[in-house]
Amino acid sequence: MTGRQAPVGDWTTDFDHTDPTWVRDPYPIWAELRAQCPVAHSERYGGTWLPTTHELVSEVAYDTEHFTSRAVVVDNLRPTELDLPAPIGLAPPITSDPPFHAMARRMLLPAFAPKKISSLEPMVRKLCGELLDATAGRSVFDAAVEYTQHIPVGVIVGMLGFPLEDADIFRRFITQVLEKVDLPSEERLDMFMQGEIEAYLNDQIEAHRAQPRDDLTSFLLEAEIDGNKLAIEHVRGTMILLMVAGIDTTWSAIGAALWHLGSHPDDRRRLASDASLWPTAIEEFLRAYAPVTMGRLVIEDFDFHGHRMRKDDWVLLPFPSANRDETVFRDADKILIDRQENRHAAFGLGIHRCLGSNLARMELTVALKEWMARYPDFELSDPEAVSWSGGQVRGPRNLPVRVLN
């Protein structure tokens, strides 16, 4: 979903995160910006800033006084057209600011804490095993289409207690939200207004009200903040958050790691023969191929290191660029699956640290281990046919592989 905009000529003054060059390989762009223009600006999307160093990305992530999370997906819509008023936002708590943010987040954290998440591991392993079973006997297939894309959506749909056969509804919705950001604002607004998702969620909520179950939907319907049940908009918003934040992202992380293993046979063989490398390898894939670039809005006009930021300007927060910053990570552009020091920011920094990071890490680990147990020898069958998603979540959407032996 790229290429609707004019091609970018100068990345320091006119960048566009949907430009085909950025989508194909953003790392050289970010490296150049970190060295020469660590706070870039573009008039696109109504005015967007792009800090690229680890230090500046951290500073914005920690600064909730000057930057709001009310809207986090940079697009052509003016932020006021669709949003609930701050501080709740469309999809709390990712779109919430302090102090409401802390309450909405605290309510959800127990469901995503490490010990709770590890109990979901058998379900994920079973899902991965079934997907791999369906590829049996074929030497060439698309690992993104047949494997990676089904894992996180299956997990989230399962956690919410929705029928697994409805997963396609969510994939369509997520593509609209995250990848069609360069549509004109009227078209994008129409797309949301005529969307099927709200009616679908209302039906599911009704079904769960009539018959409560042991799942996240019933959890949200029972949850309270300050002794009050959540508003229906809050319940729907959090469901949307889980889909938008939990599906594309992990799908991308699993796919990027498989892309690496399929194109770096030395690392693949090392990992296949030495299981003790898994923990550092997982963190290194997360660092080097962090899928998520977050978004913020400027709250009021102010001066940011000599740059005049204006109210409602967008700010892109490229955590993947921070993760390649040479001043923080030695040999930052090298993928070292035994890297010992790795303070990567793949899950963000500060109060909005990815709520689902424990879930994502578990899914990534299980999905890669199950894959490598089944197909320890594989390669990219057609490297030119690999396609990457555009926008703020980067990962392979086509990943043709050949199983060897």
Partner 1 sequence: MTAVKFKVTVDPDRCQGHNRCFAIAPEVFDVDDLGNAFVVGDGTVDGALGAKAQNAAANCPEYAITVTEFQG
Footprint of partner 1 on this chain (CB under 8 A)?
106, 109-110, 112-115, 279, 283, 340-345, 347, 349-351, 353, 357-358, 361
Q: Give the pair of three-digit tokens for residue 147.
A: 């494997």
Q: Which is nearer to partner 1, 61 or 271 (CB)?
A: 61
Q: Which is nearer to partner 1, 110 or 163 (CB)?
A: 110
Integer Cα distance of 289 and 337 in angstroms: 12
Whether the CB-CB separation of 386 and 256 falls below 8 Å is answered with no
Q: Which is nearer to partner 1, 169 or 332 (CB)?
A: 332
Q: Which is nearer to partner 1, 57 or 178 (CB)?
A: 57
Cis amide linkage into residue 87, ω under 30° from 0: yes
Integer Cα distance of 346 and 321 in angstroms: 10
Question: Residue 153 is which amino acid?
Answer: V
Q: Which is nearer to partner 1, 358 or 381 (CB)?
A: 358
CB of 227 to partner 1, least distance (A): 19
CB of 360 to partner 1, least distance (A): 11
Q: Which is nearer to partner 1, 109 or 231 (CB)?
A: 109
Q: Which is nearer to partner 1, 167 or 288 (CB)?
A: 288
CB of 344 to partner 1, least distance (A): 7
195-225 residues labelled b (16+ CB within 10 A) or e (exposed): eebeebbeebbeebeeeeeeebbbbbeebee
Integer Cα distance of 285 and 292 in angstroms: 13
CB of 282 to partner 1, least distance (A): 10
Secondary structure E strands in 270-341:
293-298, 302-304, 307-309, 314-318
CB of 346 to partner 1, least distance (A): 9
CB of 59 to partner 1, least distance (A): 14
CB of 351 to partner 1, least distance (A): 7
- What is the DSSP annotation of 22-78? HHH--HHHHHHHHHH-SEEEESGGGSEEEE-SHHHHHHHHH-TTTEE-S--S--SS-
CB of 315 to partner 1, least distance (A): 20
Q: Give the pair of three-digit tokens for residue 394.
A: 């980067």
CB of 134 to partner 1, least distance (A): 31
Q: Provide the greatest CA pair distance for the chain.
A: 61
Q: Which is nearer to partner 1, 112 or 162 (CB)?
A: 112
Helix axes of 278-288 and 357-374: crossing angle, nearest 10 degrees: 120
Integer Cα distance of 75 and 45 in angstroms: 6
Q: Residues near 286 by Cβ (< 8 Å), separated by ≥ 6?
A: 253, 344, 346, 347, 361, 364
Q: Which is nearer to partner 1, 147 or 219 (CB)?
A: 219
Q: Which is nearer to partner 1, 3 or 350 (CB)?
A: 350
CB of 340 to partner 1, least distance (A): 6
> ∠ CA(287), CA(289), CA(292), 5° rounding?
90
Q: Give the pair of three-digit tokens for residue 378.
A: 């594989």
Q: What residues does 112 pair with on adjacent strands?
A: none
